[in-house]
Structure 1
Amino acid sequence: MNNMTQFNALGFTAAELEKLIFHSVEKAVQYQFSKHAPTKTEFLSVKAAAAYLQLSVSTVYAKTAASELPHMKRGNKLYFEKDQLDAWLREGRQQTRQDAMEQAANYTYKRKGGRNV
């Protein structure tokens, strides 16, 4: 059985199969480009960052002076990247009681001579 007979057995004409392959390749290329496309970074001013973090402007200035808050400075202006502020907020996550119990159990288990509780 030759190749054309096999395509006809599937119910596709050569033109339909060519169109299907073209669209599949086009979708794959678009997917690859969308994966590697640079994301748009959102920068905030001091006032916008203070509003976003629900802090006063003076607190934001104090935290940047103490290098507690990620920021950028160009000239006399401070800028904050929204993604970095989100990461900074996540770093302040407090452990739950369950997290602390699991961490303690792992520590005693891994400790030399320790036992599994």
Structure 2
Amino acid sequence: MNKPIFLGVELAELLNGVRQICREEISELLQKGITQAKHDDEFMDMDQASVFLKKAKQTLYALCSSNSIPHFSKSGQNYFKKQDLIEWIESGRKSKKKEAQPNRLLFTNKHKI
């Protein structure tokens, strides 16, 4: 039986080559994902969090003292996890104008302005 040949390479060899390339690419992507996850789990001190959030350190101290921001305290120092801060920021997301407009219409119909 004749085996199909593509550019001088048998089909089985071509498939094995494609599989190997896929394995290598997937392995590289997984490694990058693991590295990124490790960076998100690292702790930041007050200076690093201040730069990351673009907020003054005094503002962060006030947020920490009122427990308004996720943080850890040890020996009088405050520490933050990057992923916790990202989630904290995203939790304050406001609705878009198109989403908020129906609520405004209900309000104006109910309370004639």
Identify which of structures 1 and 2 has the higher relative contact order when contacts are C-alpha pairs closer than 8 Å and 6+ apart: 2
Aligned 1:12-91 pairs, distance under 5 A: 12-14=8-10, 17-18=12-13, 20-33=14-27, 34-35=29-30, 37-38=33-34, 39=36, 40-41=38-39, 42-91=42-91
The secondary structure found in structure 1 opposite 2:3 is: helix
1:93 & 1:69 partners in 2: Cα distance? 15
Is the radius of gyration larger for structure 1 or structure 2?
Answer: 1
> What is the identity percentage for the equivalent residue pairs of Structure 1 and Structure 2?
21
Query: 1:67: how far off?
Result: 2.2
CA separation of 1:67 and 1:27: change in aligned 2, threshold 3 A: farther
CA separation of 1:11 and 1:60: change in aligned 2, threshold 3 A: closer
CA separation of 1:55 and 1:93: change in aligned 2, threshold 3 A: same
Once the two structures are superposed, residues 50-106 of structure 1 have per-residue CA deviations (whole angstroms, 9 ceiling, x without a partner) of 23222221221221232221223444432222232222222222223311235x5xx
TM-score (norm 2): 0.61
1:82 & 1:50 partners in 2: Cα distance? 11
TM-score (norm 1): 0.60
1:6 aligns with 2:3: yes
1:25 & 1:57 partners in 2: Cα distance? 51
Letter in 2 for 1:48: Q
Count how many residue pairs are aligned between Structure 1 and Structure 2: 97
